[in-house]
A and B are shown apart, each in its own frame.
Chain A
């Protein structure tokens, strides 16, 4: 009989198709995977399963007669970033942004925002920050600034829409802080208080990244201290920046009040409430039953895990920026609704679908097909949404796995998730010159052909087909450290939590790593290092000796069915 083991994970759905005959080993014919098409356990997942069945049928010329499933315990996972919430709050209070790759001058200047046309009128006593639109030629802009200063205006800084800061500074005042490439100068509130800072080349702003100093420069009162703090966070680590106080509006007070309540409350399984402290260690699985607050209200939680972004020790500017962003990645694991997935999958096969084993039993059976393993009593499934520790007594699941690592990488790189997913698995290099690559270990290599211009001076993925720019201002060594730290902070830490939740694993025991994240050698390294004190044999699964750490549960389901003797 042609049967298909089906494993629907949070991120990936896998099938293993085999022909089974009583008294004989299964004949393995097809193993494949694709992204899961719905919340794990939901009927929407059947769409992805159907595509895998169709692909198997095209390959084998025959549809699987029976679908084999594990007992379903649907879970949902989600991610929240506190830093992003703060940025949204900030927009109502102040405009704060890094600016200019090529600013002019150094130091800080603050004053009232004025259109450059206003400088044609009588001089005012207070310092001003002219705003220069792109249609004003740099020669003309410099001339008007010169005339204004001669006429008694106190020009303390300038904000330029076009990439003209150096050109204007060279023709007006080389020492004056001028930032450029401010695309939305038309939306800046003229008459408002603004501050501009330019640091020396290679340095970062110091005054605008200091919340107290920024508050003084923009004239914030004590009740707006949070806005100053959040604005300062957003500017730290940049060479040039501007901050503008947004005029008071009707909705502002409410927004400031809402920002003050920016927090997440954890509700324990005993009903006790406690504010989430992003710098504290997450509690064990099962300790938090619900969350309230900025991340939305969620009940029925099985686990909550969070971690701040890793900080590079050898890049202080970038580290400061990250710390001040208050970016926290949060993963939730909740009971999901089981809504007809077994029936939906059953409709895909003539013989229907049958639940043949617990997921843990299937994982152990599948992992045990790894050559040399004998029997794999402890299986760590490092998936997309969860880390699951499978053993004879059942499974323990912890929230946060490969997807959370991807989110952290995306936060570090400022990229979308698709690029971050690739970046977390591939080595990188910086294109130093059109012909020289600087690798993660500090070595250099030469290119036979010049690197494409878009890759020049960029940190790039080296993926075998070419160089893919990551657009993050990081040295390859720094990025490698951050990438590994993200894997440690999520996967290795969650492995530790899972092991502790089951009361430990006996010394000398074999722990087999399976799941998509286990196909990443760096993950295997960080997990093995994390468990080093337990004296365990940590090995990567190689299911059926040819599929690596993939498809352990799907293969295990077929093995479980075969062992049942087709009952």
Chain B
């Protein structure tokens, strides 16, 4: 699938492989790109680029999911140590499946 349905912009130190694994397990395509910046700002940029309006930003401390329609605050947020479960939750937002919260 070529379209960027959900976009992740990740700075150095963000857990790209955990993010990818979480999306793969949920069967949701994810486009990951490396870009410097702060998680929140990256997520807003990513949301603007994503066809589904869902953007993920990550830096060395946290991961953030932002909705393009409500970019003012994160819809989901987690420390990088919870990368895999954050990714599953973010993928579920995209797939419109119930989330499992809080992150385990």
Chain A residues with a Cβ under 8 A of chain B: 101-102, 138, 163-167, 170, 432-435, 449-450, 453-454, 456-458, 469, 471
Given the interface pairs A138-B21, A434-B75, the reply to whether A453 lies near B26 with Cβ below 8 Å is no
Closest A residue to B91 by CB, please name it.
Answer: A102
Some 25 contacts from A to B, beta carbons below 8 A apart, are A102-B25, A102-B27, A138-B21, A164-B25, A165-B25, A166-B24, A167-B21, A167-B24, A167-B25, A432-B96, A433-B96, A434-B67, A434-B93, A450-B70, A450-B75, A453-B76, A453-B93, A453-B101, A454-B99, A454-B101, A456-B92, A456-B93, A456-B96, A456-B98, A457-B98
Measured CB to CB, the nearest residue on chain B to A164 is: B25
The contact of B96 among A163, A164, A165, A457, by CB within 8 Å, is A457
The count of chain B contact residues (Cβ–Cβ below 8 Å) is 19
Residues on the B chain within 8 Å of A456, using CB: 92-93, 96, 98-99
CB distance B67 to A450 under 8 Å? Answer: yes
Instruction: Flag whether B89 is at the interface (Cβ < 8 A).
Output: yes
**Is the Cβ of B25 less than 8 Å from the Cβ of A166?**
yes
Contact B93 A101 (CB under 8 A): no
The distance in angstroms between the C-alpha atoms of A457 and B91, with both chains bound, is 12
B44 contacts A by Cβ under 8 Å: no
Query: Any chain A CB within 8 A of the CB of B1?
Result: no
Q: What CA separation (Å) do A471 and B76 show in the bound complex?
A: 20
Chain A CB within 8 A of B88 CB: yes
* Chain A residue with Cβ nearest B85: A163
Taking a contact as CB atoms under 8 Å apart, the answer to whether B75 and A453 are in contact is yes
Q: How far is the CB of B30 from chain A (nearest CB, A)?
A: 14
Q: Which residue of B lies closest to A448 (CB)?
A: B70
CA distance A266 to B67 in the complex (A): 60
Residues of A within 8 A of B25 (CB): 102, 163-167
User: Judging by beta carbons under 8 Å apart, are A457 and B97 in contact?
Assistant: yes
CA distance A99 to B89 in the complex (A): 18
Q: Which residues of B contact A138 (CB under 8 A)?
A: 21
B88 contact set on A, CB distance < 8 A? 163
Contacts of A469 in B (CB 8 A): 98
Q: How far is the CA of A57 from the CA of B26 in the complex (A)?
A: 60
Q: A163-B25, A166-B27 are in contact. Are A453 and B99 (CB under 8 A)?
A: yes
Closest A residue by C-beta to B84: A163
Most chain B beta carbons < 10 A, residue from A432, A435, A449, A450: A450
6 closest A-B pairs by beta carbon, nearest first, are A457-B98, A166-B25, A457-B96, A450-B70, A454-B101, A458-B98
Q: Given the complex, which residues of A lie within 8 Å of B89, measured CB to CB?
A: 453
Q: How far is the CA of A449 from the CA of B70 in the complex (A)?
A: 8
Contacts of A434 in B (CB 8 A): 67, 69-70, 75, 93
| CB interface residues, B 56-80, toward A, < 8 Å | 67, 69-70, 75-76
Among A434, A435, A449: residue with most chain B CB under 10 A: A434
The complex places the Cα of A450 from the Cα of B54 at a distance, in Å, of: 13
| Bound CA–CA A450/B73 (angstroms) | 11
- A460 vs chain B, min Cβ distance (A): 11
Q: Decide if the interface of chain B is mainly helix, strand, loop or mixed.
A: mixed
* Distance to closest chain B CB from A56 (angstroms): 44
B76 → A minimal CB distance (Å): 6
Q: Knowing that A167-B24, A453-B76, A457-B92 are A-B contacts, what are 8 other residue pairs whose CB atoms are under 8 Å apart, sorted by A's residue number? A: A102-B27, A166-B26, A170-B24, A453-B89, A456-B92, A457-B99, A469-B98, A471-B98
Residue on B nearest A459 in the bound complex, by CB = B98
In the complex, the chain A residue whose C-beta lies closest to that of B22 is A163
CB-nearest residue of chain B to A471:
B98
CB-contacts of B1-34 with A (<8 A):
21, 24-27
Cβ distance A433 to chain B, nearest Cβ, rounded Å: 6
Chain A residues whose C-beta falls within 8 Å of the C-beta of B21 in the assembled complex: 138, 167
B82 to chain A, nearest CB (A): 14
Q: Which residues of A contact B24 (CB under 8 A)?
A: 166-167, 170
A454–B25 Cα distance when bound, in Å, is 20
Q: Cα distance A101–B93 when bound, in Å?
A: 15
**For residue B97, which residues in chain A have a CB less than 8 angstroms away from its CB?**
101, 457
Say whether, besides A102-B27, A167-B24, A435 and B96 are in contact (CB < 8 Å): no
Docked Cα-Cα span, A101 to B101, in Å, equals 15
Of A166, A450, A456, the most chain B CB neighbours within 10 A belong to A456
* Closest chain A residue, CB of each to CB of B90: A453
CB B62 to nearest CB in A, in angstroms, measures 16
Residue in chain A with minimal CB distance to B96: A457
Cβ distance B97 to chain A, nearest Cβ, rounded Å: 5
What B residues does A457 contact at CB under 8 A? 92, 96-99
CA distance A138 to B27 in the complex (A): 16
Chain A: CB-nearest residue to B98:
A457
Find A435's partner among B26, B27, B69, B99 (CB 8 Å cutoff). B69
CA distance A449 to B93 in the complex (A): 16
A458, B67: Cα distance in complex, Å: 19
Give the chain B neighbours of A165 by CB distance below 8 A.
25
What's the least CB distance linking A496 to chain B, in Å?
Answer: 39
- A449, B75: Cα distance in complex, Å: 11
Tell me the complex Cα distance, A100–B76, Å. Answer: 23
Bound CA–CA A101/B92 (angstroms): 11
- List of A residues within 8 angstroms of B92 by Cβ: 456-457
Bound-state CA distance A247–B34 (Å) is 53
Provide the bound-state CA to CA distance between A236 and B20, in Å. Answer: 33
Return the chain A residue nearest B69 by Cβ: A435
Q: Which residue of B lies closest to A434 (CB)?
A: B67
List the B residue with the shortest CB-CB distance to A163.
B25
Q: How far is A138 from B25 in the complex, measured between Cα atoms in Å?
A: 11
Q: How far is the CA of A101 from the CA of B96 in the complex (A)?
A: 13
Return A181 CB to nearest CB of chain B, in Å: 10
Residue ID in chain A nearest B70 by CB atoms: A450
Expressed in whole angstroms, the Cα–Cα distance for A442 and B24 within the complex equals 33
Collect the chain A residues with CB atoms within 8 Å of residue B67's CB: 434, 450
Question: What is the chain B residue whose CB lies nearest that of A168?
Answer: B25
Give Cα A505 to B88, complex, Å.
Answer: 60
Q: Which residues of B contact A101 (CB under 8 A)?
A: 97
Nearest-neighbour CB distance to chain B for A553, whole angstroms, equals 44
CA distance A120 to B21 in the complex (A): 26
For the complex, give the distance between the alpha carbons of A457 and B89 in Å.
12
